């Protein structure tokens, strides 16, 4: 007995997510951000030598069990980076009904937009604060490109020219 594949309307889901992302923008530290699970898209609207400002092309797409909390951690990372201004970012946050839905939505949005911070070798914000046993951890590619986070063990490493070139090719 063969089982037919379950059809998931991914094109319709992607269309609805894209529409929802286009409908709202908030600051990363906005207390009105959703508190539950969901997906979010970060937009760089500031001035930077590597990234163009855009309210249409996300620089990063992520998912979280608690959107507001996750965005607060990203806000802290952005404020500590020596070459980024946290005020130069906006977010579109979309609440969803659970982690499985959030994972699917994140995957569909990354496929649709291909944000630079989701592409190899960056793949996100990198490491979270290090525990006592991980103090010699190598800085993440994000930390090499945007040094300054206090929990990165090597202090303030020099930005990596190879990653800067890669990020500049992204438009």
Phi, psi of 44 (to 5 degrees): -90, 120
End-to-end Cα, the chain, rounded Å: 49
pTM summary value:
0.85
Boundaries of every domain in the chain? 10-126
30: burial class by Cβ within 10 Å (0-12, 13-18, 19+)? middle
> pLDDT by residue (tens digit) across 86-118?
999 999 999 999 999 999 999 999 999 999 999
Per the prediction, the chain carries an average pLDDT of: 85
Q: Is the pLDDT of residue 134 over 80?
A: no
Topology given in CATH for the domain delimited by 10-126: GIY-YIG endonuclease (3.40.1440)
């Amino acid at each position: 007995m063969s089982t037919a594949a379950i059809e998931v309307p991914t094109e319709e889901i992607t269309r609805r997510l894209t529409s929802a992302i286009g409908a709202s923008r908030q600051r990363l530290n906005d207390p009105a951000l959703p508190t539950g699970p969901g997906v979010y898209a970060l937009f760089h609207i500031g001035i930077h030598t590597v990234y163009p400002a855009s309210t249409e092309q996300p620089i990063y797409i992520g998912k979280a069990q608690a959107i507001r909390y996750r965005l607060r951690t990203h806000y802290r990372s952005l404020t500590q980076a020596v070459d980024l201004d946290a005020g130069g970012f906006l977010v579109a946050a979309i609440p969803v009904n659970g982690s499985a839905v959030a994972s699917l939505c994140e995957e569909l949005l990354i496929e649709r937009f291909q944000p630079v911070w989701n592409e190899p070798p960056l793949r996100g914000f990198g490491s979270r604060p290090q525990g006592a046993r991980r103090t010699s951890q190598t800085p993440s590619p994000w930390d090499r490109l945007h040094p300054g986070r206090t929990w990165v063990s090597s202090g303030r490493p020099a930005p990596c020219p190879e990653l800067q070139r890669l990020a500049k090719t992204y438009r």
